Chains A and B, each alone.
Chain A
Amino acid sequence: MKIGKAASILFLLLISFELKGASSGAGLEGMLYFFAFLILFILFRSPKIPSLKTREIAGIKALEEAIGRSTEMGKPILFISGTKPVPSVSAVAGMNVLGRIAKLAARYGTPIVSPHNNSITMMAATEEIKEGLRSSNNEELLQDCSIFYLTDSLFPYAAGINALTSKVRPGAIFYMGTFYAESLILTEHGQNTGAIQIAGTDSVAQIPFFITTCDYLLMGEELFAASAYIQNDEASLRSIFMLDLAKAATIAYILIKIFVVNL
């Protein structure tokens, strides 16, 4: 609670400074929104708040099924990170899902093939896979895994992955992160190979393509919620509840503003 009070005082001090671009959303309203979110976040870390139950995310539940099927077929699994590199939030969320995939793959002894279009993402993925294998006591599997850099360019990356899919014939393919025009090229080709496909993306324009071609999809915010859901600790689960609370508050704010403006 002390942190919450300190953040509130800090916030009040900050609004006395000159604000940037009031009309571009980066002004008072944007700042109020950000800091309200921050304070709520800090307050909800309090252990006094009882445990929260979250509904199961179908896409996450299906990870085990997809990896199990791959194992039965004796085929590796393919993890494709999005086009945005690791400092981006979608890539960080994707890496958390990869950690879960690596744990399950280690349990089943199924190798992971993971091409990347950014070396920092590649390194993060390597560490995530290593950690997953280590936690399931199957570090030897890393020798069979293939984590490598392909190219930075969008369409050569898509062409490279399609060639890899044809060559490796994976039993399951996972697409996690931000995707652009290459999404349908990748997923439609993956669909043709008969692999189970699970995607998670924050690219609104690509969601219809993923829905059409993938078996499961973590749509938009579900990717971020899945990342918290996988971690399965109290603070992360509270963040999902916090997200819903912020959403409800914003909807109420929009409705009030519509009413006030039209009055």
Chain B
Amino acid sequence: MARSADPSLVVFAWGNLSRADDGAGPELAERLRTLRLDELLIIEDMQLQIEHTADIVPDVPILFIDASVAITEGFALQRLKPRPDASVTTHALCPTALLQLYETTARRPSPPAYQLHIAGQSFELGEEPGEVNASATEAAWAYLEDLLARPPGSWGRVLECDSVERLEQARAVSATAV
């Protein structure tokens, strides 16, 4: 439970390694841990829950990592804004709802936040990740390695710039696939 006292980036990665492509988040969290970067605070769980709001560090950028059916291949990086949740369970809080909860409880603006979507297609219990997801996970890992090789103070700026470009690329990929 060693914890960074002064992180430059907070990573939330979630999913279930036993459910095929759903394990992309935990898989990347495990790889990030092997980098042993003091400036990285990594939070891994099965799902985002209410108490994760207490893991958010004021003014420190956040990167959410999860498998996603919103894109058909590769990965996408999306800038997030706080938004009230209309979902039905505490087990499945979405990142934007977590940011909204943070703003309400901390009484301050949420830090800049981004979501790394990893393309996923199958979420069946006991299955291995599919080829599309495995490829997407590798691509996302290459991106993260590149990001984290830069000075920690620049991570937030890079994510801000990339979030527009990467999402547009992903949209183009999805459109092509359709």
A and B: real partners? no
